[in-house]
Homo-oligomer: A and B are copies of this chain.
Amino acid sequence: MSVDLELAPKQKRAAGERCCEPVVYPDVQREDALRMAEVAKALGDPIRLQLVDVLRKHAGKVCVCELVPLFDIAQPTLSHHLKKLRDAGIVDSERQGLWAYYYVIPDALKELSAWLT
């Protein structure tokens, strides 16, 4: 899989007809697309999207034990989703004794948000 986005010479169209305006290039380069797609993918699960929503609205750090009863999933599954969000660079966590506190990394959603606007 190449990064190359060059246009190949297209086959000739019938009787000089075009199907559309000539060349279109993606303005978003591949690395940007990879980064934003990774964030979008992490948000592509209803539970993770709601998790981010809860964390964002709280504006502080939220204990995992507060999150567990909000969703009808087992604790390991929630932990799995939080890890996905961590791996995507959307949230981070802090351990304090037995409890773990999660928060949204500032500007983590900025690039995708700006692209969507």
Q: Which A residues are closer than 8 A to B by beta carbons? A: 1-5, 7-8, 10, 13, 18-28, 30, 33-34, 36-38, 40-50, 53-54, 57-58, 60-63, 65-73, 96-99, 101, 109, 112-113, 115-117
Which residues of the partner chain B approach A33 to less than 8 Å between Cβ atoms?
46-47, 49-50, 53
Q: How many copies does the complex hold?
A: 2
Q: Which residue of B has the minimal Cβ distance to A33?
A: B46
Instruction: Judge whether A20 and B50 touch: CB under 8 Å.
Output: no
Instruction: Judge whether A2 and B72 touch: CB under 8 Å.
Output: yes
Instruction: Judge whether B7 and A66 touch: CB under 8 Å.
Output: yes
Which residues of the partner chain B approach A101 to less than 8 Å between Cβ atoms?
20
Which residues of the partner chain B approach A68 to less than 8 Å between Cβ atoms?
22
Given the contacts A41-B44, A66-B24, A54 and B7 also touching, CB distance less than 8 Å: yes
Q: Which residue of B has the minimal Cβ distance to A70?
A: B5
Q: Which residue of B has the minimal Cβ distance to A97?
A: B13
Instruction: Judge whether B53 and A28 touch: CB under 8 Å.
Output: yes
Complex CA–CA separation, A40 to B63 (angstroms): 26
**Max chain B Cβ within 10 angstroms of own Cβ: one of A7, A97, A98:** A7
Which residues of the partner chain B approach A63 to less than 8 Å between Cβ atoms?
10, 19-20
